[in-house]
Amino acid sequence: MDSSIVVTTFDTWTDAALGWIGDHGGALFDAISAVLEGFYGALLWLLDQPPDYAVALLVALLGWRLIGARFALLAGLALLFCAVMGLWSETISTLALVISATILALLVALPTGVVAGYLPRLDAAIGPALDLVQTLPPYIYLLPAIALLGYGPATALAATVIVAMPPAIRLTALGIRMTPPEYIELGQASGITPMQMFFKIRLPFAVPSIMAGINQSLMMAFGMVVIAGIVGSGGLGATIYDAIRKLDIAKSIDAAIAIVVLTMVLDRLTQSASQVRQEGNP
Amino acid sequence: MKQKDTAEILIDCQALWKIFGDRSGAAMSAVTQRGLTKTQVLQEFDCVVGVADASLQVRRGEIFCIMGLSGSGKSTLIRMLNRLIVPSSGRVLVKDRDLAGLNAAELRQMRARHIGMVFQSVALLPHRTVLENAAFGLEVQGLPKPERAKAAEAALRQVGLGDWMQRYPSELSGGMQQRVGLARAIAADPEIILMDEPFSALDPLIRRQLQDEFRQLTKELGKSAVFITHDLEEAIRIGDRIAIMKDGAIIQVGTAEEIVLNPADAYVADFVAGISRLHLVKAHSVMVPVTEFLKGSPGRDIAGLITTRPEADIDELIGLTVRSEDGAIAVAEEGSVVGVVTTRNLLLGVKGTPAAAPDTGIARRA
């Protein structure tokens, strides 16, 4: 009986707190929502301009430059297949959602990671927070987000940003922290300033780790974007959610294929981008 | 010798201590007040004594070697010379300025302009070309690109890497990489170069070649160098003077000849036992005064002996002795005979025993 009181009290507090934030931060959340949707909308508009075959061609060319002819051919054909399945506009809006969420996540995660790399105490403090974010089921973020930001892409974006941040923070901090000590010593012995130490020594050595973090964040964003179909993300997530509700297995598999195509293409492209950087650093 | 003593002192270390550990401050004051030993410091304060009461002077134009086995504190000591490691006690004066009194910007200036450093790990930046690496010190000083490229190019030519400037470090052999490290240190034209076991990781042949080149280049440019090594032969090959370290303390400082002929203790004696004297011991160390020689062989005509310089080494003396009739060589300085080397003196010299004190030398060995 006692224990149920504790739980009920806790739940009441949680609801009250969320309600209070919603009541008093309305303007703030409206603004956040507007910014998120504006950013997403602009990117979507941009990606939606070229016809499907042009996008496929562009990706193929990029893949040819970065990876090779075989990947270029496969990636181009796979993207065209998404269009053939009639899922092109959904694919593009999912792409826009993932990219905008990743960019927003990186805007916070990269500077945070750099600072955490320098300050072991901050790193130790945010470690548990990142653990929490990464271990909680992703669905958890949808409810408060929907309560504060409403149904629509802004909510999906906010939840995706939260999920996408931890890997980039962790791997950026790791990269900054893991500068080989002999190079730190070289810098000090050469009489360099702290700023030069960052840009000329720590950052170049951290690039592979940071690129790996960006790739991981992108993958987390992909995972979340499908789940966010429930809160009105639109795109392939919405298609899958819709198909599940109607038990339209064929449709859901079509959308899943489109997701897999998109994920693999972006994964390979960003991975190879980080490898190119590493080869440039022989 | 006397000229050297009056030469300008570039680095002056006075009673340097470094104690590592959480309670190093307390340990340091206990050492000064109660004179604890290294073991006592470890037991009482859980701190490690890295360098204990080290004093040394490096003069302009001199190559000063610090020789010691791993854990002897030599790497810690060299890092206190440019304050990469802050001493627990004692002072370091570089060009008469106390490093402890410099602010951050002044210390950066001091390191950038006056003290170059070469590392055992080389630490070439992998994403930069050889030229960009050699120009690194000048780049961080804010020199315009054409100027620093010019200085770096000149430095690279001096170390024989003029044709490799656009390559990346990974394309170079270990010996070549270390040459780039040296070029990087001299490109900024510092008076002092700190060398932290730079050649230890190289194969013997390349190492000898680099040792000779380094010595020649340093002398040519008129630089002073502090050279850390665990190899006494290397110290002898390179150094004008050698300091021998053990357990954080400097136990002997002197020229190679002084150390080989008069080792300060059994530890140093052990070290020098295997060193060939052929090129190390000079005539002035093994000769006996003319009067003493005449006591042994009265009536000998000194003027009739083969004559050589006081700086002639054992190798040269052996050649002369073989050619002489009765194994006595006169040592002349500025036209007058200052001593005589007999076959007996020569053999004692090969053995590493100075002519003046043959008996104590033998007793020390036994």
Q: What is the pLDDT of residue B179?
A: 94
Q: Pick the range with the lowest mean pLDDT from A40-49, A137-146, B3-12.
A: B3-12
Pair (A76, A192) in one structural domain: no
Least Cα distance to B125 among A280, A167, A266 occurs for A280
Which structural domains are found in chain B, ordered by start? 2-6+58-114+190-273 (3.40.50.300), 283-365 (3.90.1280)
Q: What is the pLDDT of residue B357?
A: 44
Q: What is the pLDDT of residue A184?
A: 95
Which residues in chain B are contacts of A200 at CB distance < 8 A?
125, 136, 139-140
Instruction: Indicate the SS3 state at residue A219.
Output: helix
The average confidence (pLDDT) of chain A is 89
Pair (A110, A57) in one structural domain: no
Per-residue tokens: A13 = 């507090």
When CB atoms are compared, the residue of B126, B140, B169 closest to A190 is B140
- List all residues of chain A from 47 to 86 with a beta carbon under 8 Å from chain B: none
Q: Looking at residues A29-43, what average pLDDT do you find? A: 90
Tell me which of A231 and B225 has the higher pLDDT: B225
CB B18 within 8 A of CB B76: yes
pLDDT exceeds 50 at position A282: no
Taking CA–CA distances from B80, the nearest residue in chain A reads A189
Of the three residues A36, A65, A84, the one that is the final residue of a domain is A84
Tell me which of A280 and B65 has the higher pLDDT: B65
Q: Is A193 on the interface with B (CB under 8 A)?
A: yes
Check which CATH number belongs to the domain holding A180 and give it: 1.10.3720.10
CA distance A224 to A163: 7
User: What is the side-by-side order of every strand in the sheet holding B306-308?
Assistant: B306-308, B328-333, B336-342
Q: What is the pLDDT of residue B311?
A: 85
Q: What is the pLDDT of residue B354?
A: 57
Pair (A133, A29) in one structural domain: yes
CB A186 within 8 A of CB B119: yes
CB B14 within 8 A of CB B90: yes
Of the three residues A33, A65, A84, the one that is the final residue of a domain is A84
Q: What is the pLDDT of residue A221?
A: 92
Q: What is the pLDDT of residue B278?
A: 81
Pair (A80, A187) in one structural domain: no
Q: What letter does residue A247 receive in the DSSP assignment?
A: T
Which residues in chain A are contacts of B84 at CB distance < 8 A?
185, 188-189
Q: What is the pLDDT of residue B359?
A: 40
Taking CA–CA distances from A182, the nearest residue in chain B reads B123
Q: Is A183 in Cβ contact with B112 (below 8 Å)?
A: no
Give the ipTM of the model, two decimals please: 0.82
Is residue B182 classed exposed, middle or buried when 0-12, 13-18 and 19+ CB atoms within 10 A define those classes? buried
Q: Is A191 in Cβ contact with B109 (below 8 Å)?
A: yes
Q: Is B123 in Cβ contact with A191 (below 8 Å)?
A: no
Per-residue tokens: A251 = 């449709």
Pair (A69, A177) in one structural domain: no
Question: Can you point out the beta strands (E) in B230-365?
Answer: 241-246, 249-254, 306-308, 328-333, 336-342
A272 min Cα distance to partner chain B (Å): 18
CA distance B213 to B202: 14
Q: Is A200 in Cβ contact with B140 (below 8 Å)?
A: yes
Angstrom CA distances, B98 to A142, B51, B63, B80, B83, stand at 62, 19, 22, 12, 11
Pair (A6, A140) in one structural domain: yes
Pair (A228, A115) in one structural domain: yes
* Residue numbers of the domain that contains A73: 50-84
Q: What is the pLDDT of residue B343?
A: 87
CA distance B14 to B4: 19
Per-residue tokens: A209 = 């780790």
Pair (A137, A259) in one structural domain: yes
- pTM above threshold 0.90: no
Q: Is A280 on the interface with B (CB under 8 A)?
A: yes
Q: What is the pLDDT of residue B6?
A: 57
CA distance B305 to B284: 16
Which residues in chain B are contacts of A183 at CB distance < 8 A?
123, 125
CB B252 within 8 A of CB B268: yes
Taking CA–CA distances from A204, the nearest residue in chain B reads B127
Per-residue tokens: A130 = 């990142």
When CB atoms are compared, the residue of B123, B127, B139 closest to A204 is B127
Placement of tokens 């402890």 in the chain: B100
Q: Is A79 left (phi over 0), alpha (psi -120 to 50) or beta?
A: alpha
Angstrom CA distances, B253 to B244, B258, B311, stand at 6, 9, 21
Placement of tokens 């960003």 in the chain: A270
Q: What is the pLDDT of residue A1?
A: 56
* Number of structural domains in chain A: 2
Pair (A173, A246) in one structural domain: yes
Which residues in chain A are contacts of B109 at CB distance < 8 A?
191
Pair (A259, A142) in one structural domain: yes
Q: Looking at residues A191-206, what average pLDDT do you find? A: 94
Distance between first and last Cα of chain B: 32
Pair (A78, A153) in one structural domain: no
Q: Which segments in chain B show pLDDT lower than 70?
A: 1-6, 352-366
A276 min Cα distance to partner chain B (Å): 12
Q: What is the pLDDT of residue A280?
A: 45
Pair (A187, A225) in one structural domain: yes
Q: Give the pLDDT confidence of A69-122 residue by residue, as tens digits.
A: 999 999 999 999 998 898 999 999 999 999 999 999 999 999 999 999 999 999
* Helix pair A142-149, A26-48: axis angle to 10 deg: 100
Q: Is A185 on the interface with B (CB under 8 A)?
A: yes
